Amino acid sequence: MKYKKNFRKRPKDDSKGLSVKVWNNNVEGALKVLKRKVKDSNIFLELKEKAYYTKPSKKRREKKNLAILRNKYAIQKEKENNKKF
């Protein structure tokens, strides 16, 4: 296997958690990557949920309501697809 010319291997990242390396003083790019990593890992969502105690009955109710909503939109999408054909 040939290696590309001027190909630079990135050093291994030994840090734990979310971290971003800043290359060529490109702080804006690194910040963009960090925001995407935080969004993908759902850290803020977990912190928001753990900010206060929610009763198990409320969790079940929310879970049930979300399932109903998903089903509603799935049926709506299916109807739209049937109209096209």
Domain hosting 29: range is: 20-52
Do 48 and 58 belong to one domain?
no
Contact 37, 31 (CB under 8 A): no
- What's the pTM value of the predicted model, to 2 decimals? 0.51
* Tokens of residue 21, six digits: 């390396």
Q: CA-to-CA distance for 61 and 53, rounded, in angstroms?
A: 15
User: Which DSSP state fits 6?
Assistant: T
Residue 67 belongs to a domain: yes
Q: What is the pLDDT along the chain (85 residues), one digit of tens a residue?
A: 566 666 667 667 677 788 888 989 999 999 999 999 999 998 988 899 899 999 999 999 999 999 999 999 999 999 988 887 6
Q: Return the pLDDT at 83.
A: 81
Q: What is the pLDDT of residue 70?
A: 97
Number of domains in the chain: 2
